[in-house]
Amino acid sequence: MPNRLIDETSPYLLQHANNPVDWYPWGPEALERAASEDKPILLSVGYSACHWCHVMERESFENRDIAQQMNESFVSVKVDREERPDIDSIYMTAVQAMTGRGGWPMTVFLTPAGKPFYGGTYFPPQDRGGMPGFPRVLDAMANAYRENRDAIARAADGLLEQMERVSAFSPHSARLAASTDLSRAFAGLASQFDDKHGGLGMEPKFPQPMVYEFLLRYHVRTGDLRALGIVELTLDRMAMGGIYDQLGGGFHRYSTDAFWLAPHFEKMLYDNALLAKLYLHAYQATGKPLYRRVVEETLDYVTREMTDPSGGFYSAQDADSEGEEGKYFIWRPEEVVKVLGRRDAEVVNRHYGVTEVGNFEGRSILHLVDSTPDPADRLGMTEDEVAEVVCRSRPKLLEARELRVKPGLDDKVITAWNGLMLGAFAEAAAVLDRPDYAAIAARNAAFLLSALRRGGRLLRSYKGGRAGGQGYLEDYAFVISGLLSLHEASFEERWLREAISLTRDMAALFGDPREEGVFYDTAHDHEKLIVRPRDISDNAIPCGSSMAADVLIRVAVITGDDDLRRIAAASIRSASPLLERAPIGAGQWLSALDLYLSSPKEIVIVGAVSDARTRSLLAEVHRGYSPNRVLLGHPGDTDPPADLPLLEGRGMIGGSPTAYVCERYVCDLPVTTPSELAAQLS
């Protein structure tokens, strides 16, 4: 018999709908039952592409004896962390405070009032490797709740007080960060750099795109070649490694080794959005064709495999297929021979490091071999000849791979992550002159603003025609950022107006009226939880607050609203202790600080995007990497709106598309040619 999860839309919850566990989704029904029966809550949090979540399900949640223990002693609640980042954030903070570490699956024991008193991550079905078996943990927690209620209440109350203190941090107790903080952050990050293989630290290695975005900015600000070198080596090695899908494009979650070779094979939408933008910016900064190729292959992968017919982008692809991690992506030499024939297979196997021994459980993860002598020399071929064989072989191998059992697809649409990918497609459309990417971005924006908005408010997720869940701070901030990029690519006023409106909504819904600059992750009318979550660390994705600071500054420039800039400054001030203590967890904050400390160039281009002369001016704007600028476009077929100071009085000169380069609303003479614009931009 299915349990209550059968009526949910989350693929992760549906994966557990036929467990013998009497699962509840998070909600009043579960909390009321726990209170009425005086039972503790067993909260289990994970996500659909999580390998160890699948393992714990197979070992424990499908085990009838363990399920019986859970059903007799607890009210068991399953949460998809991607749909409910507030629940995940609150209880992950608790688990980290109790154990010093966190991760998924997350297992937390709560009082009926929702207060945590014990937690951990994965538990095996029996004692193993120094970890207690899950049945033993269940017995211990059930007995403790029955026999040591007072001790549990004291521990839970003490932990809750600690969590409330963290959430209530005031920006007025911190100083406003300055350019010296950027220098100290760079020094701290550079000290962790792996000069041989790229990346920060040793193994495992995570992509950490926001950190490298900051380093690119630092290079632009200071001219420091070391900062640029760190970015280039890391991006080169990642693009050559197994963390990058050499056939299909797109990045896996992270590398389990120091060499970027053996990944954790799940593919997340947010990683690919952030990395596509990072490689795009690196292409602008360096002109390297490799970086452009990675951008286009990644976005083409998202178009091919991660796009819903409605225009939304799916959340993730699993690491596992047929119960084995990575099986879909790895190869044996004879499999390549079968697809390509012996001669081309010899070239391709050498190029991608496919061997009889293999590099992953007897088979090979495709990667670009970096060895001496060069593979081309060993084959008696030129580099161009090798490249031609590889180029014609990739689609054949990809077609053959498509016949395999594919990893599971999490086909729900998360608003925040779609905002990130919207921005990636929009920026790539502008920089690479790809109208097809602009069309994909516009379709996604229209979908988000219709299917994922109700009563003027953004919603969190969508699947199968059903949208729900109040939007979080990150949903608003990421979508605003994406809409601003889409306006830059299309010049459509609609997207700009939506971004400005959502920015004001964001400030009203998530800002603390008592403490200017404090943003919470949930709106003021959100479901009441044990604390109102406020995560200010940039982790796999930017935190909502750091992205909010960035868009507040940009919208302040566009609208001339100094109140928005002041709120952004207070928000950055609230993160200054994090910038000093852990810059690796503050990449987006550092970029927001760099933007705040700069005097952004204000660029206005008046002319139709369909006009080749307009596109030539845009190409000049996007030729180099200039992160601290705001670009507004107007098609020029109507009078510019009077309420946007940057557009006021701006028109075409002599009927030609025209560019204006300004600083603090004071502009140089208007220009109509790319060479004149290049001179002003430099």
d(CA 112, CA 152): 12
Q: Is the pLDDT of residue 165 over 60?
A: yes
Q: How confident is the model at residue 370 (pLDDT cuts 50, 70, 90)?
A: low
Say what the pLDDT of residue 175 is. Answer: 66
Residues 295 and 423 occupy one common structural domain? yes
* Residue 107 belongs to some domain of the structure: yes
- Which comes out higher in pLDDT, residue 370 or 534? 534
Please check whether residues 363 and 417 belong to one and the same domain: no
Span 510-523, average pLDDT: 93
* Confidence bin at 381 (pLDDT 50/70/90): confident
Mean pLDDT of 651-655: 93
The residue among 504, 542, 535 whose CA lies nearest residue 521 is 535
Q: Are residues 307 and 350 in the same domain?
A: no
23 and 125 in a single domain? The answer is: yes
Helix, strand counts (H, E) of the chain:
26, 24
Q: What gap in Å lies between CA 549 and CA 570, rounded to an integer?
A: 9
85 in Cβ contact with 521 (< 8 Å)? yes
420 & 566 share domain: yes
Structural domains in the chain (count): 4
176 is a domain residue? no
Same domain? 369 vs 448? no
Q: What is the pLDDT of residues 342-355, one digit of tens each?
A: 999 999 999 999 99
**Beta strands 24-25 and 75-80: pairing type?**
parallel
Q: Which residue has the tokens 């409330």?
A: 164
- Report the C-alpha gap between 669 and 245 in whole angstroms: 48
pLDDT digits (tens, 9 = 90+) for 593-610: 999 999 899 999 999 999
> Strand pairing of 658-663 and 601-606?
antiparallel
Mean pLDDT (the chain) is 94
Q: Which of 403, 436, 464 is the last residue of a domain?
A: 403
Tell whether 126 is covered by a domain.
Answer: yes
Pair (593, 606) in one structural domain? no
CATH number at residue 674: 3.40.30
What confidence score (pLDDT) does residue 372 get?
A: 42
Q: Is the domain of 414 the same as that of 388?
A: no
Min mean pLDDT across 58-67, 204-213, 374-383 is at 374-383
Q: What is the pLDDT of residue 245?
A: 98
Domain for residue 174, yes or no? no
Q: Are residues 395 and 518 in the same domain?
A: no
pLDDT in tens, 168-195: 655 555 666 678 899 999 999 999 999 9
Question: pLDDT for 228-283, tens place per residue?
Answer: 999 999 999 999 999 999 999 999 999 999 999 999 999 999 999 999 999 999 99
Cα gap 117→99, rounded to integer Å = 12
Average pLDDT estimate for 661-676:
94
CA distance 79 to 89: 12
**Would you say residue 485 has pLDDT above 90?**
yes
The pLDDT tens digits of the residues spanning 129-149 come to 889 999 999 999 999 999 999
Measured distance CA(261)–CA(527) in Å, rounded: 43
Report pLDDT for 173.
Answer: 55
Instruction: Provide mean pLDDT across the span 308-328.
Output: 94
Owner of token pair 């161009």: 384
- Within-domain flag for 253: yes
The CATH number for 145's domain is 3.40.30.10
pLDDT confidence of residue 373 = 45
User: Which domain range does residue 607 map to?
Assistant: 601-681
Asked, for residue 81, whether it belongs to a domain, the answer is: yes
From 403, 430, 445, give the residue that closes a domain. Answer: 403
Residue where one domain finishes, among candidates 567, 597, 627: 597
Residue type, 454: R
Mean pLDDT for 3-8 is 96
Whole-angstrom CA distances from 612 to 142, 428, 669 are 71, 18, 22
Q: Where are the alpha helices (DSSP H) in 491-523?
A: 493-510
374 and 516 fall within a common domain:
no
Pick from 205, 226, 204, 202: which is nearest to 215 by CA? Answer: 226
pLDDT score of 163: 83
Domain-located, residue 172 = no
Asked if the structure places residue 113 within a domain, the reply is yes
User: Are 238 and 358 members of one domain?
Assistant: no
Say which range, 48-52, 144-148, 330-334, has the weakest mean pLDDT: 48-52
487 and 559 co-located in one domain: yes
List Cα–Cα distances, 489 to 95, 215, 484, 681, in angstroms.
43, 25, 9, 19
Instruction: Give the pLDDT of residue 528.
Output: 94
Helix/strand/coil (H, E, C) string of 74-112? CEEEEEECCCCHHHHHHHHHHHHHHHCCCCCCEEEEECC
